[in-house]
Structure 1
């Protein structure tokens, strides 16, 4: 018995138990080797037509034997001589396919599509097998040889027995795996069934360019006997038929003009398990120093687990039509995690197991192109199919917003123009550009309000005040909105956004301003003058109210332009009222350490309630003043959608007032 070259036992044990993490890929590796053998024969046939090779008969054949617990992968490819068996299978990490590919690099992808690279895929067989037997006859050779090993003590090479590829036309290779016994942790029985092998082929090798065939059991109705009675019930029988298990030609290799949208829809639904058609389909191809094919789908509906911790983003990555990763997260950024699709490239650098990728410039270059394509498709949908885009944004816009927030605003220049917000003035969704185009002369800010619902925000005094004074307000109801605005700070209009005929369109930076900020004032000059007068005349009233409310507020003041609202709560500093609410409702919220907004109680000096406050102050009734101040504070909180500090006390105070 020959010993493996190199420190075989250590290396083979390390490889079998460490390189591969998923045992079921053994079939992918053996099919890939068989495909390489067929490609080598095809190449020889092209160079030498006298060989008389009928390329239409080239195929990979699978079979299994439950009693012998064996799985066989056969091909009628170029085969191996005794010396090649010794060199290719006896030398770990020697790749005959890689040598062949390097020698014929100018034809790779044209007449041949060699998959093998590292010379270790064959040994993945020992993850599931106790013994592997390889029978191979080289093209034009006089006899076949058998390589056999248990993966531990070495290997042997002997002449093949009678009936084992004995004819000159029987060139090719049989790889026979004798499987381990099944256990709770290692179910090898699944590979001894038609369904088990078909599933592995469909998952990993569906697009290998050669047919992968297997005899399968089918059922058919028996002919009806001539003398069958009137109540005859049809009878069925099982029969065996050679079936092709793989699709061979991947849809992403075809030009978009060659494929009907119905075919894309069918592929999308079956591959990504969605009952809806995609909203958009993007197919593109790149050739040159870095070649790849990509097929992307923007879903029309949000998966139920999109925002759960169990959701996995990523595109399916293939190399030469062989699945490498079902979800390659590096190919798509987090904010486009909803995109499904396939990328197939023979040029990406794989690691030795082909289960993961080496981080390299090729992968990053593909990812950048994918991102640009997605962005371009979304812009086209926004501009030319607004109804569909609004549906898309309702489903996936939160992730795009989080992409801006999570990048600390660095992605704002790329993503901000994809955002949509509800315009309180227009009563519809608008972009930043559309908001800016409609601003009145002299407005230099984009105003927004954040809360849990549009209906409530429309009734907030600050929003009504802005609208009453001619300023539109973006109503933001997602938890990430205000956090995103804080890292953005402003939106840049480059002068070409929106309506090009709008006279006010020019390059400028527009500050993003929360209408609930205490420093924001929409009042007219007359309203401001009236508020200043009330402030100077009733400063002691404000001081008394501040004292009675204690640390609930940082100050009490008059605000102009509040309309019919008696009072409102505003905030100062970096934490707004809405941010406080969102943080307090988080899963890890800690009431003691959570940041609090600096609250300001703003009073409307033109409202009849203010006169009641003044009367209580002039009468020296501190208790009534404190009562009125507490009720006004709690009412203002309720209007803002915030809980009152003490509901029992609030109810008691209302009862006292009544």
Structure 2
């Protein structure tokens, strides 16, 4: 293999320049975290080497005793963090340090406000460990070599964090990475055994690798005789193997920050040990806020799999279902083979049992939080509610449990904050109400202001307002809850059951007979645009609306699938007219065929717009509307007479 020995000066990606500036100014009040982040990176590098060495033991190069070394030099004013983990090639250094390829990068920078306190939270949420070095250093030097490559393939990277960096190939005998921080003049506090060891014990005691610092001892008899020994600073014991009562809240929090690369504390944790035929330990965390790559269903690196404390992998979808991808933590099995592969995991009964048990524990924790800590659960729902809804599609066996965790906006509140559970809804259903009514729309305003809700508002019947994209599948995958069927108010004939008295039913039947001629005229005018035209009692203030056939998909779902490029055979809508509306009454008496046709098309287009649809011919709609405004002098006396 040809080795690139030349030295290059390369510019940082624009986003990194912004990030460095933000970190230096926003995180300065908590600057000691730089050591936690670099130790965490070193630990990850060791995990990766252990995993790759399972299939290629030669990667250890005779050095399988993985460690992290930390030292400082008062005269040179440097701190050095070294590991013998996987290391990096030249290409990996450029990719991992010179650019940010993380999903959600653009959203991260759009969310920045310029408010230091708020931006600090966002930086922590995004996770930017290595760059925290520049909070305390005015120059950072990195030496690394990827395990398995020759010593001549070492890489030296250096930067002052001001926009560019140098990179060159160099001799580096050991595999792993060494980071040297050249401290700023005001950061001498970190050139101290006591200070560094305090930070390590505070933030990184749970790291399973030994973290080593040099210890200088002096002979009591000969003060000039000093020796340097290696001292393990941390407990180097996997935190999840300890008894729960031995672990403090602070230790749980710091471990979470390590596995999640998050600066903030988690909302809660779930620590569980299963014994019996299948022995394993799980330690899961629910973050306080969503990561920027939450909507990437393929990014499944939240939970790490260990076998007898040896890291195996962190990106397998078999560990947890996609709708729980916001969970962070570890699974440690005593029974799986160390050389287990992703392919074997696909059909492994032990993994299936671990996955099933883990899901139940997480759902139980969410249920307990929803019941006993509703304010905390409101945060979970705000951050992860849309993802949890995917569980209705992903996890049929737990569908009813997931349904109880869902939260909605309703017509009783007209508030976009989703706070009402299905149990709440069922508990306050009107006497005689047999169904759970809901409406789906592209956004909250469209749902709240839909004409389909008019009769429900008049009768005081609560309707769920669904406006998340995933809600379009709710009616398909959740047909009933606690014996109550879910009914879309935009599909099929309106059936209010016992909420409608006999007198109202007779009035509707009578209106259908009286308006039969105009119904036929409207149908003839619209032709192939509609499947059917009929009189409705669901409208109280609007002249017309469009509904889907009982067995067809909602119009909003149809539009969503079309926008995603799905080949959809469009279902013709049913147009319903309000016999009590002045325009419909005027149309009933209209003899001018052109004006009648124009009004019919305007009503159809209005109904389509009111449910969030797009007009086939906006220009024709505007033209008809303008002509109607001009001729209103002819139409208005007839309307006034009818009123």
Q: 1:417 aligns with which of 377, 387, 404?
A: 404
Structure 1 range deviating more: 547-556 or 206-215: 206-215
- Rounded to whole Å, the distance in 1 between the matches of 2:456 and 2:267 is 37
Deviations 1:531-588 (A, max 9, x none): 32232223222122112112211111110141111111111132111111221222x2
The equivalent of 1:634 in structure 2 is 605
The match for 2:348 is 360
In the aligned structure 1, how far is the partner of 2:323 from the partner of 2:588? Answer: 54
Q: Which residue of 2 aligns with 1:442?
A: 432
Aligned positions, number: 458
Distance (whole Å) between structure 1 residues aligned to residue 598 and residue 466 of structure 2: 34
18, 23, 31: which one aligns with 2:64? 31
Give how far 1:516 is off. Answer: 1.0
- After superposition, the Cα gap between the structure-2 partners of 1:524 and 1:602, relative to the gap in structure 1 and judged at 3 Å, is farther
Q: 1:62 to 1:487 in 2, by over 3 A?
A: closer
Unaligned runs of 5+ in 2: 1-48, 68-81, 86-144, 156-166, 181-199, 217-226, 630-643
Following superposition of structure 1 onto structure 2, how do residues 122-137 of structure 1 map, counting pairs within 5 Å?
Answer: 128=148
Give the distance between the partners of 1:263 and 1:278, measured in 2 at CA.
Answer: 12
Distance 1:290 1:241 in 2: 42
- Map Cα deviations across residues 169-203 of structure 1 (whole Å, 9 max, x no partner): xxxxxxxxxx464599x999494566279xxxx9x
**Over residues 436-492 of structure 1, what are the superposed CA-to-partner deviations in whole Å (9 max), with x where a residue is unaligned?**
11112222111000012333322212223113223210111111213122122222x
Q: 2:539 aligns with which of 562, 584, 608?
A: 562
Alignment of 1:373-522 (within 5 A): 373-407=361-395, 409-426=396-413, 429-491=419-481, 493=482, 509-522=483-496
Deviation at 1:26, TM superposition (A): 3.1
SS of equivalent to 2:178: helix
Query: Which of the residues 178, 194, 198 maps onto 1:195?
Result: 178
CA offset at residue 527 of structure 1?
3.6
Question: How far apart, CA to CA, are the structure 1 residues paired with 2:338 and 2:387?
Answer: 30
Assess if the C-alpha contact under 8 Å between 2:259 and 2:329 holds in 1.
no
Secondary structure class of the residue paired with 2:311: strand
Q: In the TM superposition, what whole-angstrom CA distance separates every residue of 1:337-365 from its partner, at most 9, and x where no partner exists?
A: 11110122332223278998585333222
- 1:245-394 matched pairs, under 5 angstroms: 247-351=235-339, 359-394=347-382
2:120 is matched with none
Q: Does the 8 A contact of 1:284 with 1:293 survive in 2? A: yes
Change over 3 Å in CA distance of 1:384–1:477 after alignment to 2: same
SS of alignment partner, residue 419 of structure 2: strand
Aligned CA distance change for structure 1 residues 28 and 366 (closer, same or farther; 3 Å)? farther
Per-residue displacement from partner, 1:306-336 (whole Å, max 9, x unpaired)? 1125522452122232222133432212221
Any idea what the Cα deviations from partners look like across 1:101-152, whole Å, max 9, x if unmatched?
xxxxxxxxxxxxxxxxxxxxxxxx997277xxxxxxxxxxxxxxxxxxxxxx
Distance 1:311 1:328 in 2: 10
1:28 positional shift: 10
**Contact 1:269-1:276 within 8 A present in 2 as well:** yes
TM-score under structure 1 length normalisation: 0.62
Is this contact kept in 2: 1:555–1:601, CA < 8 A? yes
Q: Is the 8 A contact 1:447 1:513 kept in 2?
A: yes
Question: What secondary structure does 1:331 align onto?
Answer: coil
Asked if 1:613 is matched to 2:590, the reply is no
Q: Is the 8 A contact 1:423 1:472 kept in 2?
A: yes
Over 3 Å counting, the alpha-carbon distance change for 1:257 and 1:426 in structure 2 is farther
**1:608 Cα deviation after fit:** 0.7
In the other structure, the counterpart of 2:116 is none
Distance 1:595 1:354 in 2: 39
Distance of aligned partners of 1:583 and 1:354 in 2 relative to their CA distance in 1, 3 Å threshold? closer
Larger radius of gyration: 1
The question of whether the paired residues in 2 share the 8 Å contact of 1:531 and 1:605 is answered with no
Maintained 8 Å contact 2:386/2:470: yes
Helix, strand or coil for the counterpart of 2:64?
Answer: helix
Per-residue Cα deviation, 1:25-70 (whole angstroms, up to 9, x for no partner)? 9349943699xxxxxxxxxxxxxxxxxxxxxxxxxx9899xxxxxx
Tell me if the contact between 1:285 and 1:292 (Cα under 8 Å) persists in the aligned partners.
yes
Q: Tell me the residue number matched to 1:538.
A: 515
* Structure-2 change in CA distance of 1:25 and 1:284 (3 Å): farther
Indicate the residue corresponding to 2:594 in structure 1.
Answer: 623
Is the contact between residue 518 and residue 588 of structure 2 (CA under 8 Å) also seen in structure 1?
A: yes
Helix, strand or coil at the partner of 2:437: strand
Kindly state the Cα deviation for residue 278 of structure 1 after the two structures are TM-superposed: 1.1
Match of 1:650 among 621, 628, 631: 621
- Any stretches of 5+ residues in structure 1 without a counterpart? 1-15, 35-60, 65-124, 131-178, 218-238, 494-508
Post-superposition offset of 1:609: 0.7
Q: Report the TM-score when normalising by structure 2.
A: 0.63
Between Structure 1 and Structure 2, the one with more helix by share is: 2
